[in-house]
Amino acid sequence: MQDKFSKIGFILAVAGSAVGLGNAWKFPYLVGQNGGSAFVLLYLFLTFFIGLTIFFGEVAIGKLSESDPVNAFKKLAITNKNGWKFAGFTMLGAIILVSFYTVVIGWIFKYAFMVLTNLPADIETSAAIFTDFVSKDVSSQILFFTITNIICFYIVSKGIKSGIERVNVWLMPSLLVLVIAMLAYSVTMDGFIQSAKFLLVPDFTKITFDSVLTALGLAFFTLSLGVGVIIVYSANLPNNTNLVSSSIIIVIINVIMGILIGLVIFTFVFEFGAEPSQGVGLVFISLPTLFAKLGAFGHIFAFALFTALIFAGITSAISMLEPFTYYLIREFGFTRKKALVSIAAFVYIAGILCIFSNIEGVKENLVFFGKSLFDCLDYLVSNIIMPIGGITVSVFVGFVIKKEALRELYGPYMSKFMFDLWYFMIRYIAPIAIAVISVNAILS
């Protein structure tokens, strides 16, 4: 049975993977912390130069091999096949990622319900609600984490076409409708102009070396690179797809969704005089208090926003499950169900340990290298596994795969100039840029 994406299904599924909590939550607070528009511009530039370069690299590995990540590297390597296959194991990063990512989607679930009846009126109350929830409320966290995982595993158990593709085809347009509806309302508020200025009119004096590195890390994260997701989705691409235009459309959807969600969030921040640079608490602490000022309608608006975040999160979480599932099926002949049950056992234990690593009284036992298990896994994936994944992809595509095979793959869709530029970028610029960000992140 052929279980491949359709062309539009591929675009929506990859865009669904890319558009996630990274765009909806990390992007706004990093923009806030790094001074606004100039950072957005930097992020756009790096997304198109470095991000898209690696993205094309992963698409090439996936499409040329039509395999899971491990066998893809093995199949395409000319010598040292057994050494290269280890590069595919960066897909384990996606499984670690999904373990704590679904904890956060669980928090958003809880908030979607909470904001229907309760919007805290001031920052202190709001901060106390969030801190109490994360540091004391084990049972709700486990409940919502479980619900999130049941949904995600169920979707992936239905396979690529009737599970992953079908859900993305519904959720991605719904996400867009929600965001546009919220935007339409935001436009009527005075804060909108300030928000648009903050995000769109660049002030280059705010750019520092650190913001360049942060923007590159964000570009990498929001494009779901380095952990085999793009490889596996591309392995299931229908033939005769225009690889270049599809990839560019995906990257554009990704940045546009980030900016639109950012516009909505900052409209509220400016309208009600909150601080744009407040960091991680933006979505869970500050926004609920801003919605409280809208009265009854605030509840509906807050619910819409958290629902949008759930949609964005779920389409990303399901993509994290697919690489390893696909590997277990193809390498060991597991059925899809059996593969998912094995993965679920790991995700469930790791996720619950992450929840406990924030709980008062227990968390002391779950500290590693001076960080909670939760932060530790986040650090491991974002600062170690993903950069290693990015560098191995660039070196592999740049120096190991035959240039002729790449030219044959991309030739019909790229001009000679564009191909040569991409090839140069993936050999020299991308790996060095990634090495610099990760070394800097590890040292700082």
Name the residue nearer to ligand TRP (CB basis): 270 or 306.
306
Min separation Cβ 209 and ligand TRP, Å: 24
Region of 3-11, 14-22, 127-135, 206-214 interacting with ligand TRP (CB under 6 A): 14-22
Region of 15-23, 137-145, 241-249, 367-375 interacting with ligand TRP (CB under 6 A): 15-23
Region of 17-25, 114-122, 268-276, 351-359 interacting with ligand TRP (CB under 6 A): 17-25
Region of 134-142, 196-204, 222-230, 427-435 interacting with ligand TRP (CB under 6 A): 222-230
Binding to ligand TRP by residue 319, rule CB under 6 A? yes
Binding to ligand TRP by residue 18, rule CB under 6 A? yes
Tokens of 412: 């019909």
Please give the distance of CA 253 from its chain centroid, rounded to a whole number.
13
Query: What b/e string do you get for 199-229 counting C-beta neighbours within 10 Å, with b at 16 or more?
Result: beebeeeebeeebbbbbbbbbbbbbbbbbbb
Q: Is 36 left (phi over 0), alpha (psi -120 to 50) or beta?
A: left
Q: Among 9, 22, 88, 288, which residue sits at the site for ligand TRP (rule: CB under 6 A)?
A: 22
Give the alpha-carbon dihedral of 318, 322, 324, 328, to 10 degrees: 130
Q: Among 10, 11, 15, 23, which residue sits at the site for ligand TRP (rule: CB under 6 A)?
A: 23
Residues of span 258-317 touching ligand TRP by CB under 6 A: 316
Annotate each residue in 66-95 with x if it binds ligand TRP (CB under 6 A) or - if it does not, as one string: ----------------------------x-
Binding to ligand TRP by residue 126, rule CB under 6 A? no
Q: Phi and psi for 443 in degrees, rounded to 5?
A: -75, -25
Q: Among 34, 99, 126, 224, which residue sits at the site for ligand TRP (rule: CB under 6 A)?
A: 224
The length of the chain, given as a count of residues = 444
Single-letter amino acid code for the residue at 345:
A
Q: Do 236 and 4 form a contact (C-beta atoms < 8 A)? A: yes
Min separation Cβ 381 and ligand TRP, Å: 8
Which residue has tokens 């690696």?
A: 54
Q: Among 40, 41, 182, 227, which residue sits at the site for ligand TRP (rule: CB under 6 A)?
A: 227
Other residues' Cβ atoms within 10 Å of the Cβ of residue 394: 26
Size of the site for ligand TRP (CB under 6 A): 16
Helices (H) and strands (E) in the chain, counts: 24, 2
First CA to last CA distance, the chain: 50
Binding to ligand TRP by residue 21, rule CB under 6 A? yes
Name the residue nearer to ligand TRP (CB basis): 274 or 343.
343
Binding to ligand TRP by residue 383, rule CB under 6 A? no
Q: Do 55 and 225 form a contact (C-beta atoms < 8 A)? A: yes
Q: Among 46, 167, 216, 229, which residue sits at the site for ligand TRP (rule: CB under 6 A)?
A: 229
Alpha-carbon span 187 to 196, nearest angstrom:
10
Min separation Cβ 409 and ligand TRP, Å: 23
Q: Is 240 left (phi over 0), alpha (psi -120 to 50) or beta?
A: left
Give just the sign of the alpha carbon dihedral 258, 261, 264, 270.
negative
Q: Which residues bind ligand TRP (CB under 6 A)?
A: 17-18, 20-23, 94, 97, 221-222, 224, 227, 229, 316, 319-320
